Structure 1
Amino acid sequence: MEKRNEIVMYLLFGVLTTVINILCYVFLREYLHIKYILSTTIAWLISVVFAFLTNKKYVFKSNFTELNAVIQEFFSFTFFRVVSLGMDLGIMVVLVEIIKIDDFIAKIAANIVVVIMNYIVSKYVVFRTKRVNE
């Protein structure tokens, strides 16, 4: 039951992270008139920080509070989110450009892979209960 709750919480905060990303982008683009690339980057950064905080506290319930441990978790989390962004883009290129799948269908497929990968990496690498150097 606990594993099911963890997955539900992960999906819930994933949806909230997506909403925050979109709202930040719209605010930056439409109200502050920041160019779309910079708006996308800032919105992505804000949503990654939100995802880190909520995943740490509510999803994987990491108890590390020492600054070095939190920094290690944050950089590990961010690193793997950058990797997943690259995976997302790579899958999109392969499916749309090479296999010729509709981009909307490709985006859904890519996001399924990315969400699963992010969950596994967060659970078993970023927020694991014991650190190697402890």
Structure 2
Amino acid sequence: MKKLLSIYEQQKEVISYLFWGVMTTIVNILIFALIHWLTDWNYLINNSIAWVISALFAYISNRIYVFHSYADSRSAVLKEMASFFIGRIASYFIEQAILIVGISGLKWHEITVKIIANVVVVIVNYFWSKWAVFKKKGPES
């Protein structure tokens, strides 16, 4: 049991990121699927709407629960938020490209391609968030 607790303590951030990444992915895919099933809009529009909502969810959960951000002034929070969304916008274009190739090019099922794209995006976003956005600046650094 001590060994498991030790591993958890060493990997707490990654475990937390994976949990909140899965939650963000679920939000993203559910919104995408709902819009897909309820409208006849293009999948890229559906993805854009799902992206906006899930990116806001991801910022809040990453800031509070994963990286425990210590940005406390308005300007520091705005800088952190801008950096976060710059990375997310980059991964949004990666996701859009995967959707275009998978859905329009390969003619795969939209939800299947969306899930594959989200796996790639979660990995890219973790490294961006860890190294560029939520760098340790508080008492724990």
Partner of 2:90: 83
Query: Which residue pairs with 1:118 in the alignment?
Result: 125
In the TM superposition, what is the alpha-carbon distance from 1:70 to its structure 2 partner?
Answer: 1.1
Instruction: Tell me: CA distance 1:43–1:113, structure 2 relative to 1, closer, same or farther (3 Å).
Output: closer
Name the amino acid aligned to 1:44: W
Counterpart of 2:41 in structure 1 is 35
Show the counterpart of 2:5.
none
Residue 49 of structure 1: aligned partner: 56
Q: Provide the alpha-carbon RMSD of the alignment.
A: 3.5
Deviation at 1:128, TM superposition (A): 0.9
Asked if structure 1 preserves the Cα contact closer than 8 Å seen for 2:91 and 2:121, the reply is: yes
Percent sequence identity is 37
- Deviation readout 1:15-67 (Å, 9 max, x if unpaired): 1111112333316862xx48344443222101000000100111011111211
When the two structures are aligned, how many residues end up with a matched partner? 125
SS in 2 for 1:63: coil
TM-score by length of 2: 0.67
What is the alpha-carbon distance in structure 2 between the residues aligned to residue 114 and residue 46 of structure 1? Answer: 15
Structure 1-normalised TM-score?
Answer: 0.70
Gaps of 5+ in 1: none
Deviation at 1:117, TM superposition (A): 2.5
Query: What is the CA–CA distance in structure 2 between the aligned matches of 1:114 and 1:60, rounded to whole Å?
Result: 18
Structure 1 CA distance for aligned equivalents of residues 98 and 85 of structure 2: 20
Query: Given residue 27 of structure 2, which amino acid in structure 1 is its aligned partner?
Result: I
Tell me the distance in 2 between the aligned counterparts of 1:45 and 1:129. Answer: 26
